[in-house]
Amino acid sequence: MYLELKQLSFKYDQTSIIDNFDLIAEKGSITAIIGESGSGKSTLLRILAGLQNANQGVFILDDQIIFDSKHSVDTHKRRIGLVFQDYTLFPHLTVYQNIAFGMRQKHKKDRIQTILKMVELEEDIKKYPYECSGGMQQRIALARAIANQPKLLLLDEPFSNLDQDLKVRLRTQFIDWAKQEDITLIWVTHDIEEAHLIANQVIELRK
Amino acid sequence: MFNWKRFTKISSILWILLIFILFSETFTLLTKPTNENWQHSVRYVLGDVSVNTLIIVGFSTFFASLLGIFLAGMVTLFQFKGRKLFSFLFYLALAFPPYVLAYFWTYFISYTGTLQTFLRSLNIPYQATWFVVDPKFMAIFVYTLSLFPYIYISTKAIINRSLGNYIENARVLGYSYPRIFLKLILPLSLPARLSGGLLVALEVLSDYGVVSYLGIPSFSTAIVRSWLRFQDFDTALRLAALLMVLTLVLLAIFAFIGRRIQNLVPIKGKPLQPTALKPKHSIYLVSMLTLFLFLSFGIPLIQLFYWSIQSLASIRLNRFISSLSNSLGLSIGVSLIILLIAFVLANHGRIQKSFISFIAGKLTLLGYSIPGSVIGILSLIFFLNLRNIIPIKLNQSIILLIFALIIRYAGLAYQSIEQGFNKLGLRFNEAAQVLGKSYFNALIKVDLVLLKPALYSAFTMVFLDIIKELPLSLLLRPFNFNTLPPRFISMPMMRCWLNPPSLL
Which chain A residues have any C-beta within 8 angstroms of a chain B C-beta? 49-51, 74-77, 79-82, 84, 86, 88, 90-92, 101-102, 104, 144-145, 148
How far is it, in rounded angstroms, from Cα A88 to Cα B432? Answer: 10
How far is it, in rounded angstroms, from Cα B71 to Cα B163? Answer: 16
Under a CB-based contact definition with an 8 Å cutoff, are residues A28 and A184 in contact? yes
Categorize the per-residue pLDDT at B315 as very low, low, confident or very high, splitting at 50, 70 and 90.
Answer: low
How far A90 CA sits from the closest chain B CA (Å)?
7
Under a CB-based contact definition with an 8 Å cutoff, are residues B180 and B166 in contact? no
pLDDT digits (tens, 9 = 90+) for A91-123: 888 999 999 887 776 668 888 888 888 888 899
**Structural domains of chain B, with CATH:** 1-33+315-504 (1.10.3720.10), 35-276 (1.10.3720.10)
Under a CB-based contact definition with an 8 Å cutoff, are residues B87 and B75 in contact? yes
Quick one: pLDDT at residue B267?
A: 56
Quick one: pLDDT at residue B498?
A: 44
pLDDT digits (tens, 9 = 90+) for B278-298: 888 899 999 999 999 888 888
Quick one: pLDDT at residue B1?
A: 66
Quick one: pLDDT at residue B497?
A: 42
Quick one: pLDDT at residue B21?
A: 86
**Structural domains of chain A, with CATH:** 3-205 (3.40.50.300)
Is residue A4 exposed (0-12), middle (13-18) or buried (19+ Cβ within 10 Å)?
middle
pLDDT digits (tens, 9 = 90+) for B182-212: 888 888 888 888 888 888 998 898 888 899 8
Query: Does the pLDDT at position B308 exceed 90?
Result: no
Quick one: pLDDT at residue A106?
A: 64
How far B434 CA sits from the closest chain A CA (Å)?
5
Residues of chain A with confidence (pLDDT) below 50: none
* Chain A partners within 8 Å of B431 (Cβ): 82, 84, 88, 90
Handedness of CA B480, B483, B486, B489 (dihedral sign): positive
How far B441 CA sits from the closest chain A CA (Å)?
10
Quick one: pLDDT at residue B493?
A: 43
pLDDT digits (tens, 9 = 90+) for B123-146: 988 888 888 889 999 999 999 999
B435:A80 CB<8 A: no
Amino acid at B287: S
Percent of chain B with pLDDT over 70: 92
Q: What is the mean pLDDT of residues B27-31?
A: 70
Q: What is the mean pLDDT of residues B45-67?
A: 92
pTM of the complete model: 0.79
Categorize the per-residue pLDDT at B496 as very low, low, confident or very high, splitting at 50, 70 and 90.
Answer: very low
Under a CB-based contact definition with an 8 Å cutoff, are residues A80 and A144 in contact? no
Asked casually if ipTM beats, i.e. exceeds, 0.90, the reply is no
Query: Does the pLDDT at position B394 exceed 80?
Result: no
Quick one: pLDDT at residue B30?
A: 66
3-state secondary structure chain A: CCEEEEEEEEEECCEEEEEEEEEEECCCCEEEEEECCCCCHHHHHHHHHCCCCCCEEEEEECCEEEECCCCECCHHHCCEEEECCCCCCCCCCCHHHHHHCCCCCCCHHHHHHHHHHHHCCHHHCCCCHHHCCHHHHHHHHHHHHHHCCCCEEEEECCCCCCCHHHHHHHHHHHHHHHHHHCCEEEEECCCHHHHHHHCCEEEEECC
How far is it, in rounded angstroms, from Cα B210 to Cα B97? Answer: 9
Residue B380: CB atoms within 10 A of its CB come to 21
Percent of chain B with pLDDT over 90: 27
Categorize the per-residue pLDDT at B395 as very low, low, confident or very high, splitting at 50, 70 and 90.
Answer: low
* Chain A partners within 8 Å of B427 (Cβ): 84, 86, 88
A88:B430 CB<8 A: yes
Q: What is the mean pLDDT of residues B467-479?
A: 81
Axis crossing angle, helix B4-29 with helix B355-369, rounded to the nearest 10: 50
Nearest to B438 among A74, A90, A144 (CB): A74
How far is it, in rounded angstroms, from Cα B310 to Cα B338? Answer: 38
